[in-house]
Amino acid sequence: MSTEAASLPRAAAPPRPGVWAGLWEGHALPVVVVSLLIVALWYVGAVAMNADLQRSAFENAGQKTWTTAELVAGTLAQERPRLPAPHQVAEELWKTVVDTAPTSKRSLVYHAGITLSATVLGFLFGSVLGILLAVLIVHVRSLERSLMPWIVASQTIPIVALAPMIVIILNQLDVTGVVPKAAIAAYLSFFPVTVGMVKGLRSPDPLQLDLMRTYSASRLQTFLALRVPSSVPFLFASLKVGVAAALVGTVVAELTQSADGGFGARLLAGSYYGQTVQIWAALFAAALCACLLIAVVAFADRIVLRRMGYTR
């Protein structure tokens, strides 16, 4: 199919495409195909990367010759492969999520609970802080001029580098448990929320603001009736970024504060003991949690926007 055809508007397409054409034009089939391609590539990669290990394993076992089928089967069933096969990761996930009691330290549900509680707490705190700061920035001009450039500039620096220091300092001040991790999650999620919310509160155009003035609306009334409603789409867009950033912050904080558990601690332990399957399982669980958090925010987004009449 040529690019020119793809850029034609939808109306020009045949009025009733068949099921297959619909699948081909839609997103679901391509995503599935590409995902399957990735899984296939992953298997190839697993065989290629683990082959050396497997050969030496055969030699150590005194086996002089082996068939290719044996070799491939061996590479996909190692205990500590360089790259575990997808089904090994899936098995590990199943074992640690479903087969293990959620209270056990071997259960990923247990670790997910630790990570998620810090993430959600930090995210809530960070977004409230970000929204408050945005409201201040929009209403106090000198604050906007003096603070906003610093907030924008701070986006260009790797703030995650601060995570270990914040954790250690808070630990020194006898603040332990969920709070230091939540602090970093809050810290990471508050920047995108502030920037997005300032943009959103500024989004009413001058005509609308003038209309409010002709109603002789007070600043508070303009804020509540015009600025807040028009900022909501911006708010949710930045909340999605913020919640993903909060999870990254929590995981990085758990690298430093690994005694409490969580995905970061699982990653660290896995890398210490060479438990690659465990690392990959923790990674996938973390990715699932990220998807879950974003989906929750997106769901809230859709409901709120529909109630507010943004989408019909």
Partner 1 sequence: MRRAALLPLGGALASLAALAAPFGADAEGLGFARLCLGGLAAACLWAGFAPGVGARPAGTAAVAALAALAGVAVVRMLSGGLENTAGPGFALALVAVWLSAWHVVDAATAARPRDPRLASAANLVAPVVFGLTVLLLWEGVVRGFGSSMMKVILPAPSAIAARFGSSLPTLSADFAQTFQGVSVGYALGCGSGILVAILIDRVPFLQRGLLPLGNLVSALPIVGMAPIMVMWFGFDWQSKAAIVVIMTFFPQLVNTVAGLASAGRMERDLMKTYAASYGQTLAALRLPSALPFIFNGLKINSTLALIGAIVAEFFGTPIVGMGFRINTEVGRMNIDMVWATILVSALTGSLFYGFLTLVERRVTFWHASYRQRTT
Contact residues: partner 1, CB under 8 A: 1, 3-4, 6-7, 24, 26-27, 30-35, 38, 49, 82, 141-142, 144-147, 149-150, 153, 155-158, 160-162, 164-165, 168-169, 172-173, 240-241, 244, 247-248, 251-252, 255-256, 263-264, 267-268, 270-271, 274, 276, 279-280, 282-283, 286-287, 290-291, 294
Q: Which is closer to partner 1, CB of 124 or CB of 290?
A: 290
Nearest distance in Å: CB 21, partner 1: 12
Q: Which is closer to partner 1, CB of 122 or CB of 226?
A: 122
Check the CA dihedral 29-35-38-42 and report its sign: negative
Nearest distance in Å: CB 279, partner 1: 6
Instruction: Determine the straight-line distance between the first and last CA of the chain, rounded to whole angstroms.
Output: 33
Nearest distance in Å: CB 100, partner 1: 21
Nearest distance in Å: CB 37, partner 1: 8
The HSE-up count of residue 187 (CA atoms within 13 Å, CB side) is 21
Q: Which is closer to partner 1, CB of 134 or CB of 166?
A: 166
Query: Going along 100-244, which residue ranges are E strands?
Result: none
Size of the chain in residues: 312
Q: Which is closer to partner 1, CB of 83 or CB of 226?
A: 83
Q: Which is closer to partner 1, CB of 33 or CB of 132?
A: 33
The HSE-up count of residue 299 (CA atoms within 13 Å, CB side) is 6
Nearest distance in Å: CB 172, partner 1: 6
Q: Are 81 and 50 in contact (CB under 8 A)?
A: yes
Token pair of 226 as six digits: 């015009």
Nearest distance in Å: CB 64, partner 1: 29
Angle at 240 between CA 236 and CA 243, to 5 degrees: 125
- 44: CB partners within 8 A, 6+ apart: none
Token pair of 65 as six digits: 């010759």
**Spatial distance between the Cα atoms of 209 and 223, rounded to a whole number of angstroms:** 10
Q: Which is closer to partner 1, CB of 32 or CB of 308?
A: 32
